[in-house]
């Protein structure tokens, strides 16, 4: 309590300075200091810190419970994103924090050119570029792709679902697969993952037998950008802001944004796996689905219930970074829990491990990292009985760019997941085949 109060005062005191900084923002962006932590300039800005110690899941959950995001878990170190007062709070808790260098890139070419990646990362697609690329691909492959605007973000940008299947305009009786991307603003590589998959399905349909079968026998929903506002905000100055949340204002607070991956309506806020404070990176929002983007996607998923049966059987929610394949639950450290039987868990683990064997990621239950509540994968399973995985993409470590790996790695690191995605699609008719229980669970 005392910490919070002290911090509140500090934050209030910093506010006047914050306004001055905001006015000077274009200048600051132009004169960015490569290698310097952004937290050094602006007390509200988030930077990464390394904590050198072996940690148990319970200690990591305690750190996560302070409202910082945990970005990296290694045998003898952690990396967290924190603003300056959060860093102080962690130090008060006895942790030794070493600031890590911020991503250093020359800002995008002209100061007038906003909402774009630094020129060195021009290979990434901003929202307008991604939209144009999606429209181009859907038009070029209209026999197997159908685009639908399923709703709007807080700031009014389109949230899009592309259906990839033969006869895409009709709802056929085929297992459906859900691929969601970019809940977290700074995780831009996940949008590239969606664009890669669309390109791959489009180019290889009718040429590659696996792709052809996947498209013919499944209905694949690709949602390339769940958080377009956050993504644009993260690149709006031409330098990276380390933004995670959406950009929705919070009542009674000057801090914007909800952590969308703490806002889903299953055991929301149950278990100390999210923050009640709007200033925190893991703020869970005022209520489940209070983030309009989460509501849009949850409504879309609920809309896939046909004749009382959820058509979507499996999915992947793409994040960065750490190179992990995660399965639920995140809200509890138990392998099994209400609604998660031993067989469910074993099927999750079997398919998860197989996907991880193909992309070289590490497979585990998500709470082995740290406890989270209100995450999409918990909701997909707990509420909809969808086998929902979380992939944490490249890199494995902050040394290779953390949330901002250079655009040179996009092709390699998206194609790296080709086989894993196809495996999930191929397993989607009966996830229990992976544990030899097809007869028991999937016989018609
Ligand atoms: O904390 C998250 O939301 C995800 N990690 S990230 O670094 N991309 O923010 C992990 C979510 C894993 N899923 C659950 N814990 N349920
Ligand atoms: Ca480059
Ligand atoms: Ca079809
Ligand atoms: Ca269908
Ligand atoms: Zn994420």
d(CA 227, ligand 4 centre) in Å:
26
Q: Which residues pair with 320 in a beta bridge?
A: 393
Cβ pair 183, 319 in contact under 8 A: yes
Buried b (16+ CB within 10 A) or exposed e, 207-223: ebeebbebbebbbbbbb
Residue 166's Cβ-count burial label (10 Å; 0-12, 13-18, 19+) is middle
E-strand stretches of 66-182: 69-74, 77-82, 97-99, 145-152, 158-164, 176-181
Tokens for 346, please give them: 């074993």
Cβ pair 63, 370 in contact under 8 A: yes
Rounded CA-CA distance 292/294 in Å is: 5
| Residue nearest to ligand 1 atom 15, measured at CA | 330
* Ligand showing the shortest atom-to-Cα distance for residue 311: 4
Cβ pair 215, 141 in contact under 8 A: no
Rounded CA-CA distance 240/107 in Å is: 9
| 438 in active site | no
Domains along the chain with CATH numbers: 38-99 (3.30.70), 127-441 (3.40.630.10)
Tokens for 163, please give them: 């259906």
**How high is the pLDDT of residue 21?**
38
What is 296-324 written as a DSSP string? HHHHHHHTTEETTEE-EEEEEEEEESS-E
Can you say whether the dihedral through the CA atoms of 413, 389, 275, 226 is positive or negative?
positive
Tokens for 409, please give them: 């790695």
Which of 283, 392, 395, 403 best tests ligand 1's pocket when mutated (most atoms within 8 Å of CB)?
392
Length of the chain: 444
Helix residue spans in 144-185 (DSSP H): none
**How high is the pLDDT of residue 18?**
41
DSSP 152: E
Cis peptide before 147 (omega within 30 of 0): no
- Residue 352: strand, helix, or coil: helix
Rounded CA-CA distance 152/295 in Å is: 10
Helix residue spans in 218-340 (DSSP H): 228-235, 292-302
d(CA 213, ligand 1 centre) in Å:
31
Local mean pLDDT, 10-residue blocks, the chain (444 residues): 45 42 36 41 86 91 91 95 92 94 77 80 98 98 98 98 98 98 99 99 98 98 99 96 98 98 98 98 98 99 98 99 98 97 98 99 98 98 98 98 98 99 98 98 90
Cβ pair 387, 175 in contact under 8 A: no
> Who contacts 323 (Cβ-Cβ below 8 Å, separation ≥6)?
359, 360, 361, 362, 392, 393, 394, 395, 396
| Residue nearest to ligand 1 atom 12, measured at CA | 366
**How high is the pLDDT of residue 181?**
99
**Ligand 1 near 377 CB (within 6 A):** yes
d(CA 166, ligand 3 centre) in Å:
4
Residue 74's Cβ-count burial label (10 Å; 0-12, 13-18, 19+) is middle
Cβ pair 377, 344 in contact under 8 A: no
DSSP 154: T
**How high is the pLDDT of residue 106?**
79
**CA nearest 50: which of 62, 66, 37?**
37
Q: Give the predicted TM-score (pTM) of the model.
A: 0.90
- Residue 75: strand, helix, or coil: coil
| Residue nearest to ligand 1 atom 4, measured at CA | 319
**How high is the pLDDT of residue 112?**
57
Tokens for 331, please give them: 């809200």
Buried b (16+ CB within 10 A) or exposed e, 42-70: bbbbbbbbbbeeebebeebbebbbbbbbb
Tokens for 244, please give them: 């995670």
**CA nearest 101: which of 322, 398, 406?**
398
Rounded CA-CA distance 426/385 in Å is: 18
d(CA 173, ligand 2 centre) in Å:
43
44, 89, 192, 392: the catalytic one is 392
Helix 84-92 to helix 2-23 angle (10° resolution) is: 160
Rounded CA-CA distance 321/335 in Å is: 24
């Amino acid at each position: 309590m005392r910490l919070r109060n002290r911090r509140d005062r500090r934050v209030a005191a910093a506010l006047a300075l914050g306004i001055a900084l905001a006015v000077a923002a274009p200048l600051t962006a132009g004169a960015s200091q490569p290698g310097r932590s952004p937290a050094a300039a602006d007390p509200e800005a988030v930077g990464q810190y390394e904590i050198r110690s072996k940690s148990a899941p319970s200690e990591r959950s305690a750190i996560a419970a302070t409202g910082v995001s945990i970005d990296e878990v290694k045998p003898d170190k952690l990396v967290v994103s924190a603003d300056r007062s959060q860093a102080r709070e962690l130090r008060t808790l006895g942790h030794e924090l070493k600031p890590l260098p911020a991503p250093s890139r020359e800002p995008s070419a002209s100061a007038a050119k906003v909402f774009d990646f630094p020129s060195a990362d021009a290979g990434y697609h901003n929202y307008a570029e991604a939209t144009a690329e999606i429209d181009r691909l859907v038009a070029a492959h209209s026999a197997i792709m159908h685009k639908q605007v399923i709703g709007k973000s807080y700031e009014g940008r389109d949230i899009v679902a592309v259906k990839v299947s033969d006869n895409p305009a009709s709802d056929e009786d085929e297992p459906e697969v859900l691929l969601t991307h970019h809940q977290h603003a700074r995780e831009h590589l996940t949008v590239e993952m969606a664009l890669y998959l669309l390109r791959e399905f489009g180019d290889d349909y009718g040429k590659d037998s696996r792709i052809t079968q996947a498209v013919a026998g499944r209905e694949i929903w690709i949602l390339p950008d769940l958080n377009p506002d956050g993504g644009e905000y993260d690149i709006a100055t031409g330098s990276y802001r380390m933004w995670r949340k959406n950009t929705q204002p919070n009542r009674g607070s000057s801090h914007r944004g909800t952590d969308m991956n703490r806002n889903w309506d299953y055991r929301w806020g149950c278990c100390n796996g999210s923050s009640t404070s709007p200033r925190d990176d893991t703020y869970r929002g005022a209520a489940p689905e209070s983030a309009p983007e989460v509501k849009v996607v949850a409504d879309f998923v609920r809309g896939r219930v046909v004749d009382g049966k959820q058509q979507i059987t499996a999915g992947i929610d793409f994040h960065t970074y750490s190179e992990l394949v995660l399965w639920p639950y995140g809200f509890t450290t138990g392998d099994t829990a209400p609604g998660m039987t031993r067989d469910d868990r074993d099927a999750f683990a079997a398919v998860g491990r197989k996907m991880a064997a193909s992309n070289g990621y590490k497979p585990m239950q998500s709470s082995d990292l740290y406890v989270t509540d209100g995450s999409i994968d918990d909701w997909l399973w707990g509420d909809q009985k969808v086998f929902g995985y979380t992939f944490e993409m490249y890199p494995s470590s902050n040394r290779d760019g953390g949330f901002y790996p250079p655009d040179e790695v996009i092709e390699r690191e998206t194609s790296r997941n080709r086989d894993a995605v196809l495996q999930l699609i191929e397993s989607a008719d009966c996830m229990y085949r992976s544990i030899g229980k097809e007869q028991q669970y999937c016989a018609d």
